[in-house]
Amino acid sequence: MENKTLLKSAILMLVIVVITTAFCEISLRNKGIPISYDDGPPLWSHNRSMVYEPFDDAVVFIGSSRIKYDLDIPTWQGITNIHAVQLAMEGSNPRPVLEDLANDKNFKGRLIVDVTEGLFFSNAPPNKEAPIKNIKYYHDITPAQRVSFILNKPLESEFIFLNKDYFSLNAQLNVLEIPSRPGVFIEPFFPMEFSNNTFERQMFMTSEFVADTVLRNKVKANWAFFAKMSKLTPPMKEAELAAIFKSVKEAIDKIKARGGEVLFVRTPSSGPYLQGEKMGFPREKYWDKLLAYTNCSGIHFLDYPEIAHFECPEFSHLSQPDAKIFTKHFIEILEKEKGWKLKKS
């Protein structure tokens, strides 16, 4: 009798869970919320394993969030028929990934490095946490973790509620935007409409975000917060900056020595954000010196009228329609100005 009661309770609980989950999923779909994949170490590692494709079949991208928004991967791959391996990480310094690829003797491909000066030319530990974590996961991955990723992918591709960045319990608490206690740092909250991620690791903002002034202003306020925090950091000493240039050159030389190719890109920003970057990171001291010191080609968006005109909805990233236009022109510049052979017959 007791076993039957437990079985009925278990069945009832299962029915309640299924109904609640289904209701939640249907509600999210009716709101037009898109599928978004968890962009944690498993997905990054999946992409990291693709860097060994033949030289003519793939281009690897590293950097911070801008190249994740601004490079429209379907447009890139549709025009070039070349795989875009996206390894950039938002809010992160790409130099650890550059060093990881440089120390990988099996990587001999083409690499495009996106430069967001405030992150690239930084030694702040928080900016390196995600890259270090992802790199470690990739090199230490277990068979069980591989199987878990394979099984999880079909589920994430079908169910919106699995987006843990916005629908987990902790994420729902973040939505409340409770003020921080004195002495406690809580990272600013980004609206869901701004932060969606495809399986290919392309980030995109929704059309609702672009049209909503309130949502855009929330993200602009986040950039203002980070700018205020950066002002509390002492200016970098010349010796420290010189060490960064040296380490970047050493990494690039290793890749070139194996037959690889490296190019830098400065993707668009606009408005007050761009003005602040110009003042804080003058080109002659950072971008121009980076190209000269490393003996690498580079594409700075302000040098090309066809990609210099974009107005970023929140000053720092392109909308999806503009990302498609940027990607088309970026391909043309790579081919005509930089001599890259991209279009395959």
Residue 324 belongs to a domain with what CATH number? Answer: 3.40.50.1110
Chain Cα centroid distance, residue 294: 24
Does residue 329 lie within any of the structural domains? yes
Q: State whether 207 and 279 are in the same domain.
A: yes
Q: State whether 214 and 295 are in the same domain.
A: yes
Radius of gyration of the chain from its Cα atoms, rounded to whole angstroms: 22
Q: State whether 21 and 121 are in the same domain.
A: no
Q: State whether 331 and 216 are in the same domain.
A: yes
Q: State whether 219 and 107 are in the same domain.
A: yes
Q: What are phi and psi of 50, to 5 degrees?
A: -95, 0
Q: State whether 77 and 8 are in the same domain.
A: no
Does residue 345 lie within any of the structural domains? no
Q: State whether 24 and 59 are in the same domain.
A: no
- The number of folded domains in the chain is 2
Does residue 342 lie within any of the structural domains? no
Q: Where are the alpha helices (DSSP H) in 87-162?
A: 95-102, 117-120, 126-140, 143-156
Structural tokens at position 244: 């960064």
Contact yes or no for 312/49 (Cβ under 8 A): no
Does residue 180 lie within any of the structural domains? no
Does residue 173 lie within any of the structural domains? no
How far apart CA 151 and CA 148 sit, in angstroms, is 5
Q: Which of 174, 154, 158 lies closest to 166, judged by CA?
A: 174
Q: Which domain holds residue 9?
A: 1-31
The helix/strand/coil state of 239 is helix
Does residue 27 lie within any of the structural domains? yes
Does residue 256 lie within any of the structural domains? yes
Contact yes or no for 66/316 (Cβ under 8 A): yes
pLDDT tens digit at each of 345 positions of the chain: 566 677 666 676 766 756 665 556 566 556 666 767 788 999 999 999 999 999 999 999 999 999 999 999 999 999 999 999 999 999 999 999 999 999 999 999 999 999 999 999 999 999 999 999 999 999 999 999 888 888 777 665 555 555 656 555 555 555 555 555 555 556 677 888 998 999 999 999 999 999 999 999 999 999 998 888 777 677 789 999 999 999 999 999 999 999 999 999 999 999 999 999 999 999 999 999 999 999 999 999 999 999 999 999 999 999 999 999 999 999 999 999 999 988 765
Q: State whether 123 and 11 are in the same domain.
A: no
Q: State whether 21 and 75 are in the same domain.
A: no
Q: State whether 60 and 1 are in the same domain.
A: no
Chain segment 198-234, per-residue pLDDT in tens: 999 999 999 999 999 999 999 999 999 888 877 767 7
Structural tokens at position 83: 């795989």
